[in-house]
Structure 1
Amino acid sequence: MALLPFAACLMSLSCLAPAQPPASTLQLTTHDTANRIGSVVLTCEPAGGTHPKHDKACAVLQSAGGDFSRIQSRHQMCTLIYAPVDVTAVGTWRGKPVSYRMTYANRCEADRDSDDVFAF
């Protein structure tokens, strides 16, 4: 009879903890024409990792639903100097795989158009 409360708990699911969304972990990299390479880890829910602006980066990605192509760029002017910067993001967002790659005309555009997600 000791199993009766346990069985009732399992049948009603009232004893289970609320489901938490899977953590999001991304490896972000930048590479420019001067051969400078930057790399950080961004974790969200909770925000952390080695990204210097992890709180803001997670908020930006949250508002874009984890889709880098939906990030709203800041209103900021950048020079027209062409110094390409390649950026990548690989990992998971809420349990779903992420693989993103983009080339921006310069560092200013990379920071502006990603709303500082790639500002490290």
Structure 2
Amino acid sequence: MALFPLAACLVSLSCLAPAQPPASTLQLTSHDTANRISSVVLTCEPTGGTHPKRDKACAVLASVNGDFSRINARHQACTLIYAPVDVTVVGTWHGKPVSFRTTYPNRCIADRDSDGVFAF
């Protein structure tokens, strides 16, 4: 009877494959004062989706384990023109739910403060 779990493992081959974390899929949306709405899908591990800079965006998110509040802003000059941009993110990061929402003073700052994640 002690060999049954081993036999089941070998028959299904489930014990031979390393555990893979679930893919991370996020829907990112921006909405500005000119009533422009942009939305992209970002998939990481494997990288994919409609985000124009998906490799960079996935690298940034991997460095903060999918926590948008921990993204470090990059050094980039932006104008001080106030044209607010609301951004939202919903989806999953390695199987855990993600929900993020914030308002940036303008698109340049959204791009800078998200290190390119909101550059779409």
> TM-score when scaled to structure 1?
0.90
* Residues 11 and 24 of structure 1: CA distance in aligned 2, closer, same or farther (over 3 Å): closer
Deviations 1:63-112 (A, max 9, x none): 01100000011011111100000001000000000000010000000000
CA RMSD of aligned residues (A): 2.1
Instruction: Could you tell me which runs of 5 or more consecutive residues in structure 2 were left unpaired when the two chains were aligned.
Output: none
CA contact (8 A) 1:9 1:15 kept: no
Match of 1:94 in 2: 94
- Deviates most, 10-19 or 27-36: 10-19
Matched residue type, 1:70 = R
Q: Distance in 2 between matches of 1:14 and 1:29?
A: 38
Q: What is aligned with 1:115? A: 115
The one-letter code of the counterpart of 1:67 is D
Q: Which residue of 2 aligns with 1:50?
A: 50
The 5-angstrom pairing of residues 1-120 of structure 1 reads 7-10=5-8, 15-120=15-120
**Aligned positions, number:** 117
User: How far off its partner does 1:29 sit?
Assistant: 0.2
| Deviation, structure 1 residue 6 | 6.5
11 and 54 in structure 1: CA distance in 2 versus 1, 3 angstrom threshold: closer
